[in-house]
Amino acid sequence: MKVAIYSRGYEQELKAELSQLVAELTKNNISVLLHFSLARFIQEDKSYTFSFFSSHEELNDTVDFLISLGGDGTILDTITLVRNKNIPILGINYGRLGFLASISKDEFGTAVDALVNGTYVVDKRTLIHLDANISLFGDAPFGLNEFSIHKRDISPMIKINTYLNGEFLNTYWCDGLIVATPTGSTGYNMSCNGPIVFPESASFVITPVAPHNLNVRPIVVPDNYIISFVVESRNDQFICAMDARREIVHKDVQLAVKKEKFTISLVRLNENNFLSTLHTKLTWGLDKRN
């Protein structure tokens, strides 16, 4: 078995725990492939044998799993590494909330045992894909959480004409508009009062950011729809964001989003289903008066 490990490499605390993780994997005869950002944490450790990778091109079908060390943002980074290669991603949470990276950093021993013994569950998650008449987001115009349109800085609100399969839906006078996947419904969408939808719901959520009209509400649409936009603004430019990546775009650019052709696989331990994650992360069902 071969396991790749990715992290943004910002946290000094990773050094000791990364060494422990590599030791645990090596003890189970698992080959380790480290992202180059982790080199400074572990390169001087000669106790183990490992190699490095720096781009998605260096991940192939010999890699059985990719372990993400960090928060949900770190997992979003891994999507551009794994792409359509169907490498399952296991997230170990070093961040805060951790909807995607749901395995505690104290549980990595349990997680490694689950990989070795096959006692894990793989969830398929849909992605969102952007089509535009210019190149945006390089060779990775897809995201796990959401695609969004935003006004620039202190610009006045923008006007976003939105269409479903070419049929007019609504004009949003707002600071921005989010199109979230079910996975992304617990992210930026939720913070803008969008609904939470189950990962298997086969839908997109369209949620305005600070809408000018009080009768405008989020809407859930099937994910086999093509959602297109025409943006009007006093400023010639606006911002397009795909998960944590962003582009400055001219208002004449044509934009449309749809479901990506491939899915991403997320590994979870058997007991960590979506409902238990909601209960844990949002403290649903707990009476804090006691």
Q: 139 and 253: one domain?
A: yes
Give the sign of the dihedral formed by CA 174, CA 228, CA 132, CA 142.
positive
Phi/psi for 42 (5° steps) reads -135, -5
Query: Is 278 part of a structural domain of the chain?
Result: no
Cβ–Cβ < 8 Å for 187, 122: no
Q: Same domain for 182 and 139? A: yes
Among 67, 85, 118, identify where a domain stops: 118
Domain stop point among 65, 90, 118: 118
What is the dihedral angle through the alpha carbons of 98, 101, 102, 107, rounded to the nearest 10 degrees? -120
Residue 97 counted as domain residue = yes
- 19 and 46 both lie in a single domain: yes
* Whether 135 and 242 share a structural domain: yes
Assess if residue 110 is contained within a domain: yes
Residue 17 has a pLDDT of 79
**Over its length of 290 residues, how does the chain's per-residue pLDDT go in tens digits?**
999 999 886 666 677 778 888 888 989 999 999 998 887 776 655 566 778 999 999 999 899 999 998 889 999 999 999 999 999 999 988 767 678 887 887 888 889 999 999 999 999 999 999 999 999 999 999 999 999 999 998 888 999 999 999 999 999 999 999 999 999 999 999 999 999 999 999 999 999 999 998 899 999 999 999 999 999 988 999 999 999 899 999 999 999 999 999 999 999 887 778 888 888 778 887 766 65
Tell me, yes or no, whether 289 lies in a domain. Answer: no
Q: Identify residue 16 by its one-letter amino acid code.
A: A
Determine the pLDDT at residue 258.
98
What is the distance, to the nearest Å, from the Cα of residue 177 to the centroid of all Cα atoms in its chain?
Answer: 18
Token pair belonging to 85? 């290669």
Give the number of domains in the chain: 2
138 and 250 share a domain? Answer: yes
Whether residue 169 is found in the same domain as residue 81: no
Last residue of a domain, one of 89, 118, 147: 118
> Does 85 lie in the same domain as 23?
yes
Q: CA–CA separation, 69 vs 254, rounded Å?
A: 37
Determine, yes or no, domain membership for 275: no
Does residue 165 sit in the same domain as residue 231? yes
Please give the residue range of the domain that contains residue 53.
Answer: 2-118
Q: SS3 of 204, please? A: strand
Rounded Cα–Cα distance for residues 256 and 243 (Å): 16
Domain assignment of residue 212, yes or no: yes
Specify whether the CB–CB gap between 160 and 153 falls below 8 A.
no
Same domain (yes/no): 102, 136:
no
Task: Measure CA 119 to chain center.
Answer: 24
Report if residue 273 sits inside a domain: no
Q: Give this prediction's pTM.
A: 0.92
Asked, for residue 281, whether it belongs to a domain, the answer is no
Distance CA 81, CA 91 (A): 14
Q: What is the pLDDT of residue 106?
A: 80
pLDDT at 15 (0 to 100): 76
248 phi, psi to nearest 5 deg: -90, 125
Domain shared by 8 and 90, yes or no: yes
- CATH number for the domain spanning 70: value is 3.40.50.10330
3-class state of residue 128 by DSSP: strand
**CATH number of domain containing 155:** 2.60.200.30
Q: Which of 45, 61, 64, 72 is catalytic?
A: 72
- pLDDT at residue number 121: 92
Strand partners, 203: 222
Pairing of strands 89-93, 219-222: unpaired
Residue 112 sits in the same domain as residue 167:
no
Residues 56 and 151 in one domain: no
Quick check: is 72 catalytic?
yes
- Return the closest-CA partner of residue 177 out of 169, 125, 201: 169
Residue 288's pLDDT is what? 67
